[in-house]
Amino acid sequence: MEINVKASRDCNVTIYDYDGKGKLTQIFPNQFQPNTAVKSGETVTIGGPDSEFDYQLSIQPGEHKVLVQMRASKSPSAGAVIRLAD
């Protein structure tokens, strides 16, 4: 899976995966991409073929959509970096 985030203004980005069963996992920032700051007009790519880590998305049979929620803040701040599972 590849997530592309393009900012229309300077912001900080944090992305979580929610499994629908109560488990929330932060996937960005991470140990390979620790900087949460995204400049206006800049695109950040998380995952994908050139990434240093794999992120797999699982959906149940019959599901056709996946809900992805993102939150951005205007003021720069340092985010907590998590370690992705090997």
pLDDT of the residue at 3: 83
pLDDT of the residue at 84: 46
pLDDT of the residue at 70: 54
Tell me if the pTM is above 0.85: no
pLDDT of the residue at 56: 67
- Burial readout 22-37 (b: 16 or more C-beta within 10 A, e: otherwise): eeeeebbbbeebeebb
pLDDT of the residue at 41: 93
Weakly modelled stretches of the chain, pLDDT under 50 = 76-77, 80-82, 84-86
